[in-house]
A = this chain, B = another copy of it.
Amino acid sequence: MDNSNNFESFTCPIPIGKRNEVSIGHGSGGSLTKSLVDSIFIKYFSNDILDQGNDFADITPVENTNDFRLVLSTDGHVVSPLFFPGGDIGRLAVAGTVNDISMSGGIPKFLTASFIIEEGFPIDQLEKIAESMKKCSEEAGVFIVAGDTKVVEKGKADRIFISTTGVGYVIKDLFINGTKAQPDDSVIISGTIGDHGIAVLAARNELGFSTTIISDVAPLNSLIQTSLKAAPHIHVLRDPTRGGVATTLNEIALQSNVKIVLDEEKLPIHKQVQGACDILGFDPLYVANEGKVLIIVPNNEEDAVLEALQKHPLGKDAAKIGVVESIENYPIVLMQTVIGGTRIVDMLTGEMLPRIC
């Protein structure tokens, strides 16, 4: 945080504010900022590094850099509504960045969090979000080591936005990235698709009917480390968030210069998600996920990774959904449909569901 945090001896604590709302003064960098930081962020995030109370966090590597490389990732979070079935913006902010780091095959260690808050935002909601971030950080085994708080006038932001950045370590010789997909590789998804997008839509009351779908938002680092143990030659890991499975596979096809062929019949889709998509005219392949990973792996490790995934609580619905083939004219994603045809699965154009993450 921009202010020092370990002021136990300070004899005149200033109350957060009279109205239980975030005020412009809470973003001043002065004593009101300190009271907000202490009473909410330090209360939940406290750890030895954060509590140093400087403008920087000293994260002296715990890993020897002869054995590990360092990876870095950032994400802004603007989801609306802030609270939805299965999660909230706090859980999303922690899990989202933990997952981006995990897609390198690496182990996330440290997070930073930058809060931009609208004047008048209820302190009790801020506390719920901080508590959720703490819980998710514990699940993922990461520490929030630095933060920042800004407050803007009423009407100049939509309640709260959170940007998180993560630092992680990856084993020196492990190079997993979007360029590594090869012909004959298998394409695996760790579970049902589209749950997050439909859960957020339901929370917005945009479905016109009720569902029991909950968001899949979860930190995937443990699932991925389990997969890597079972299948050490994984080529690509990527989480199909905004733009969904279709957009993510198109990115990989382009980066690796390959053709990817999906089998529609094999796509794991929750019945209620499929039902909601049918009514709304959405394709679940484009709906965002926040707790799923696409794994592209040599076919001789396909069984091992599927077995490992299915034993993990976050991977029980894992399935092989396609294969990588040699490029013909240009990188492309195709799908063999249930009625026996083949169609092109394009990248998302425009926007189907804004502010889903």
Q: Which residues of B contact A104 (CB under 8 A)?
A: 54, 56, 58
Smallest CB-CB separation from A176: which chain B residue? B54
Alpha-carbon distance A357/B242, docked complex (angstroms): 30
Residue A155 at the chain B interface, CB threshold 8 Å = yes
- Number of A residues contacting the other chain (C-beta, 8 Å)? 97
Alpha-carbon distance A153/B24, docked complex (angstroms): 23
A147 close to B74 (CB less than 8 A): yes
B115 close to A76 (CB less than 8 A): yes
Alpha-carbon distance A113/B23, docked complex (angstroms): 26
Q: Which residues of B contact A325 (CB under 8 A)?
A: none
Q: If A71-B57, A73-B112, A112-B72 touch, does A29 touch B78 (CB 8 Å cutoff)?
A: no
B29 close to A348 (CB less than 8 A): yes
Q: Which residues of B contact A241 (CB under 8 A)?
A: 2, 29
A103 close to B7 (CB less than 8 A): no
A293 CB to closest chain B CB, in angstroms? 11
A45 CB to closest chain B CB, in angstroms? 13
Q: Which residues of B contact A255 (CB under 8 A)?
A: 4, 6-7, 53
Q: Which residues of B contact A192 (CB under 8 A)?
A: none
Q: Which residues of B contact A71 (CB under 8 A)?
A: 56-59
Smallest CB-CB separation from A161: which chain B residue? B116
A91 CB to closest chain B CB, in angstroms? 17
A114 close to B152 (CB less than 8 A): no
Residue from the list B56, B72, B106, B113 in contact with A106, Cβ < 8 A = B56
Q: Which residues of B contact A55 (CB under 8 A)?
A: 73, 100, 103, 238-239
Q: If A178-B54, A251-B3, A254-B7 touch, does A146 touch B354 (CB 8 Å cutoff)?
A: no
Residue from the list B101, B254, B350 in contact with A10, Cβ < 8 A = B254
B75 close to A2 (CB less than 8 A): yes
Alpha-carbon distance A350/B151, docked complex (angstroms): 12
Residue A351 at the chain B interface, CB threshold 8 Å = yes
Q: If A9-B257, A177-B52 touch, does A165 touch B74 (CB 8 Å cutoff)?
A: yes
Smallest CB-CB separation from A347: which chain B residue? B31
A66 CB to closest chain B CB, in angstroms? 8
Smallest CB-CB separation from A79: which chain B residue? B150
A112 close to B165 (CB less than 8 A): yes
Alpha-carbon distance A254/B157, docked complex (angstroms): 33
14 pairs from A and B in contact (CB 8 Å cutoff): A29-B242, A29-B348, A30-B243, A30-B247, A30-B347, A57-B71, A58-B104, A60-B69, A61-B61, A76-B148, A76-B163, A78-B116, A116-B163, A155-B155
Inter-chain pairs besides A28-B348, A33-B243, A112-B165, 19 sampled, C-beta below 8 Å: A7-B254, A28-B354, A30-B347, A31-B347, A53-B178, A53-B251, A53-B255, A54-B104, A56-B72, A56-B104, A59-B72, A61-B61, A76-B114, A78-B152, A146-B165, A150-B355, A153-B355, A157-B157, A161-B161
Query: What is the interface of chain A, defined by CB distance below 8 A to chain B?
Result: 2-4, 6-7, 9-11, 14, 23-25, 27-34, 52-61, 64-65, 69-78, 100-101, 103-104, 106, 110, 112-116, 145-153, 155-158, 161, 163, 165, 167-168, 170, 177-179, 238-239, 241-243, 247, 251, 254-255, 257, 288, 330-331, 347-352, 354-355, 357
